[in-house]
Amino acid sequence: MKAGRAAWRRWLEAFAFLSLLAFLLLSFPPASPALASPEEKLRQACNTCRGIVDRFTQGLTDTAKKNFGGGNTAWEEKTLSKYESSEIRLVEIIENLCDSSNFECNNMVEEHEEHIEIWWFKRKKNHPDLFKWLCIETIEVCCPVGTHGPDCVACRGGSEKPCHGNGDCDGDGTRAGDGSCKCKKEYQGEFCLDCSDGFYNSYRNDTHSVCTACHYSCKTCTGATNKDCKDCKDGWLRHEEACVDVDECAVEESPCNSDRYCLNTDGSFACKDIDECSHTEEVCTGENTNCINTPGGYKCICSEGFEDKEGICVPSIKAEEKSSANTSSSDIHEDL
């Protein structure tokens, strides 16, 4: 009976675990990447509408070419001029507005086909800009450039020049976004008029700001030279009003390991390998030896044509054979 109870308990535990899993899955369904947020949908909708208008314009061009081949009789000309603003042409254009796989596009065309027809037959003349009429004013999925959001309000810094021309307005031209500025790297602040660290205002008035890079010795600055630094960059110190390079090597204790020498650079330093072979005092003193520099040291090796024999470089046998074969006649060989 004890074993039976244990099995029962295991079964209960498994049931509890599965219930918990089901509960978690139901309460927090995994986010599907296909489902865009409402905000994202608003941005998409404007893009979709813009795409439709682009294809419509393309359709106008294509059908114009196809049907005005020239050499038409009077009867044909009359028919064609009718075709120009006919339903047949419109249907032809509408058929090609979306790729069959583009769900959003097909959806939008289906939903607003009537609007497109109204424009084609009644509004085209007074509202030739289809994008403005359809996407901005009728379907209301886009906004005029420089405006954003459900009511198409001006971007930060005004609709004429959002973000003062120094950044992008969030949602610009769509019914989405909050109109805030994403400044270019040189600029910062709500209106992209202030300069980022490392840049200074080379021009500024109420509506206009130009930020230019500081001298490379400055972290922050008010002008172009190393005398205009507010803060020096790391590795630079203020000396007589200007930021000058710190010579990290000019200290008693070298920052490098003993087998390396210190090389000062702008704003920093480098530890370089010492080339012992280029010392004025020769380090490889044996006869017929060459010096080879290595990281942290050097090697003395025998020159070409010589080989090491118990610490002394002697002419190598191979090289001897070769040179004698080339230079001498066969009788020398016999001598050997």
Ligand X SMILES: *[C@@H]1O[C@H](CO)[C@@H](O)[C@H](O)[C@H]1NC(C)=O
Task: Please tell me the distance from the alpha carbon of residue 112 to that of residue 99, in angstroms, as a whole number.
Answer: 17
CA neighbours closer than 13 Å in the CB half-sphere of residue 186: 16
205, 257, 258, 285: which one contacts ligand X (CB under 6 A)?
205
Region of 165 (left: φ > 0; alpha: ψ -120 to 50; beta: rest) is left
Tell me: does residue 330 bind ligand X (CB under 6 A): no
Tell me: does residue 225 bind ligand X (CB under 6 A): no
Within 182-316, residue ranges assigned H as helices are none
Tell me: does residue 328 bind ligand X (CB under 6 A): no
Residue among 28 and 203 whose Cβ is closer to ligand X? 203
Tell me: does residue 206 bind ligand X (CB under 6 A): yes
- To ligand X, the closest distance from the beta carbon of 163 in angstroms equals 15
Tell me: does residue 324 bind ligand X (CB under 6 A): no
Residue among 34 and 317 whose Cβ is closer to ligand X? 317
Q: List the structure tokens of 280.
A: 């004025």
Q: Which residues contact 272 (CB under 8 A, 6 or more apart)?
A: 256, 260, 261, 262, 263
Chain centroid, CA 7 distance in Å: 59
Residue among 81 and 324 whose Cβ is closer to ligand X? 324
Which stretch in 7-15, 110-118, 200-208, 275-283 sits in contact with ligand X by CB under 6 A? 200-208
Tell me: does residue 27 bind ligand X (CB under 6 A): no
Q: Give the burial class of 126: count Cβ atoms within 10 A of its Cβ; 0-12 exposed, 13-18 middle, 19 or more buried.
A: exposed
Tell me: does residue 207 bind ligand X (CB under 6 A): yes
Which stretch in 60-68, 204-212, 217-225, 328-336 sits in contact with ligand X by CB under 6 A? 204-212
Tell me: does residue 304 bind ligand X (CB under 6 A): no
Residue among 166 and 174 whose Cβ is closer to ligand X? 166
Report the DSSP pairing between strands 147-148 and 153-154.
antiparallel
Q: What residues make contact with ligand X under the rule CB under 6 A? A: 205-208, 326
